[in-house]
Amino acid sequence: MKCELLTIDEFSKSVLQPAMEALARAMAKSPPIERLFIRRQTYCSLLKVGITSIDVLAEMSAADLLKIKGFGPVALKELREATDGIYTEFSALAERLDANDYR
């Protein structure tokens, strides 16, 4: 079995460029939580449990979010306010969070 080494240009065109394009497409489909105007503590609490995109966040209930260490009623209210009326997916999340009793 013979292995051939790729030049930097070949590697860039055949491996790196398609991977970067796939990553860009995935990020465009699912906005990152960095787009939300939330406190650093709230952001870090979400990040520590692997919540990095709005799509993942939208799948969680208020009860699930409140189980996250460092994420309490104030953070939940902040998240609801940050998602209210910005984009369609954010608004849907805000409505779901608002429908749950988190006080």
- State residue 14's pLDDT score: 73
Q: What is the CATH number of the domain that holds 54?
A: 1.10.150
In this structure, the number of other CB atoms found within 10 A of the CB of residue 36 comes to 20
Q: Is the dihedral of CA 75, 33, 54, 50 positive or negative?
A: negative
- State residue 49's pLDDT score: 93
Q: How many helices (H) and strands (E) does the chain have?
A: 7, 0
Residue 28 in domain: no
Domain that includes residue 52, residue range: 33-99
Q: Are 73 and 66 in contact (CB under 8 A)?
A: yes
Please state the domain count of the chain.
1
Low-confidence ranges of the chain (pLDDT < 50): 87-88, 101-103
Q: Are 35 and 82 in contact (CB under 8 A)?
A: no
Residue 10 in domain: no
- State residue 88's pLDDT score: 47
